[in-house]
Amino acid sequence: MPASPTFTEAELADLNVRFETAEPQEIIRWAVETFGDGLSVGASFGGASGMAILHMVAQLKPDVHVFVLDTDYLFEETYETMRRAVPALGLTNVQVYKSRLSHEEQARQYGAALWMRDPDLCCELRKIEPNRRALDGRLAWISGLRRDQSEGRADTPIVSWAPKFGVTKINPLANWTEKQTWAYILEHGVPYNPLLDRGYASIGCYNCTVPGVQGRAGRWQGFEKDECGLHT
């Protein structure tokens, strides 16, 4: 594994200039060669971008550490997609991370339906803390963010430092469009979540996801929130 997992600001700026015109596969190849076994891929088995990335990474390093945050509130279609896609893609090191609290324990400690009263706290308990454990001791994290997914993601860099988790973060599809992502998925026969064919544009917990709206607007309806906190 290479000695330094981090970069100076100038090095990060150079990498972002270089990768702005690179294909995602080239960025992923660089990440695999740079971080080796210290590389992790976050997977939700919800969105199309994440599935395209899993397919690209699996071509180069099928034993890459893939981590899934199981909040206990995922759609059955998401679990089914994971069961189907992992063997189809040939991934051999997929690990599931759950909250330290079962949903019954969470209800006992914080009251029922916390997501309806304090979704930030619910996301902290069920996503952020498990994400910290998933990335503990890791060097880099590949994520599927795209700039066209929301206004808040419009400036997403391709390579950055994620201080909240102490890793280099890589978004190989940052400057891809939804259309490019789907073209890749269909061309390569990549498995994807069937809810994407049923009007869901963004798929998270069933408590906080509705179909029929564009981008991330279907998440946390009624709240000034369109991010769980993993990427902010």
Q: Give the contact letters, 36-75, x = binds to ligand SF4 (CB under 6 A), - = no.
A: -----------------------------------x-x--
Tell me the C-alpha to C-alpha distance, in Å, between residue 60 and each of 4, 31, 141, 182.
Answer: 22, 11, 16, 21
The widest CA-to-CA distance across the chain, in whole angstroms, is 51
Whether residue 123 lies in the annotated active site: no
Asked if 52 and 187 count as a contact pair (C-beta separation under 8 A), the reply is no
Task: For the CB of residue 229, give the shortest distance to ligand SF4 in the complex, in Å.
Answer: 9
User: Cα 7–57–41 angle (5° rounding)?
Assistant: 60
Q: Is 169 in the site for ligand SF4 (CB under 6 A)?
A: no
User: Phi/psi at 170 (nearest 5 deg)?
Assistant: -125, 125
Which of 19/75 has CB closer to ligand SF4? 75
What is the three-class DSSP state of 69?
Answer: strand
Q: 207, 210, 213, 217: which one contacts ligand SF4 (CB under 6 A)?
A: 207
C-beta closer to ligand SF4: residue 159 or 208: 208
User: Pattern 122-151, binding to ligand SF4, x per CB under 6 A?
Assistant: xx--xx------------------------
Q: Does 19 bind ligand SF4 (CB under 6 A)?
A: no
Stretch that binds ligand SF4, among 1-9, 137-145, 162-170, 201-209 (CB under 6 A): 201-209
From CA 167, how far away is CA 126, in angstroms rounded? Answer: 20
Give me the amino acid identity at 34.
T
> What does the binding site for ligand SF4 look like in residue numbers (CB under 6 A)?
71, 73, 115, 119, 122-123, 126-127, 204-205, 207-208, 228
Residues marked active site are found at: 228
